[in-house]
Amino acid sequence: MNDTFYSILLSIMPIAELRGGIPYALAHDMNPVKAYIICVGANVLAFPIVYFFMGFFHDLFSKMQWYSSLFEKLVIRTRGKVEANLEKWGFWGLMVFVMIPLPVTGAYTGSFAAWVFGIQRRKAFLAVAMGVLISGLIVTAIFLSGAELFHFLLKEV
């Protein structure tokens, strides 16, 4: 297996996403532009994955009482509490949520939120994709800045 494959794999994993893929690629001497394009491209795939699986599994599981009850308690209640803010911020709120490279933010959570709140698919994809593009720039800049600082500090010692 090569570094490109691992970078793609990390970028498409729900927990790692760009926070794992880009640093891995850059730490393995991949060109920053290539790392950005490959990892962002892989991370954008989270959107169709979430929409396909949630559509398929939700329809399948919604026939089961335990799932319906759990879905009702967790998702519907949350929807009621957050819906006003989502309506207020909409597209931009979803994009900002996805672009912040912190745990529990990113393409998977943003795509799931868009699915739960019934945001129009095209609009949701655009918000998630733009968030991923910006998040990729942020992660790349942070990693490269940190690497430069680390090299500078080593030279001073």
Q: What is the mean pLDDT of residues 73-101?
A: 78
Please report the pLDDT score of residue 70 as a whole number.
85
Residue 101 pLDDT grade (very low, low, confident, very high; cuts 50, 70, 90) = very high
Please report the pLDDT score of residue 125 as a whole number.
97
- Model confidence over 19-78: pLDDT tens digits? 999 999 999 999 999 999 999 999 999 999 999 988 888 888 888 899 888 887 777 666
Please report the pLDDT score of residue 33 as a whole number.
97
Containing H/E element for 119?
Answer: none
Q: What is the mean pLDDT of residues 91-95?
A: 91
Of 94, 153, 149, 100, give the one whose Cα is nearest residue 120: 94
- Model confidence over 106-122: pLDDT tens digits? 999 889 888 888 889 99
- Enumerate the domain spans of the chain: 3-156
pTM (2 d.p.)? 0.84
Distant-in-sequence, close-in-space partners of 108: CB < 8 Å, separation ≥ 6: 14, 17, 46, 50
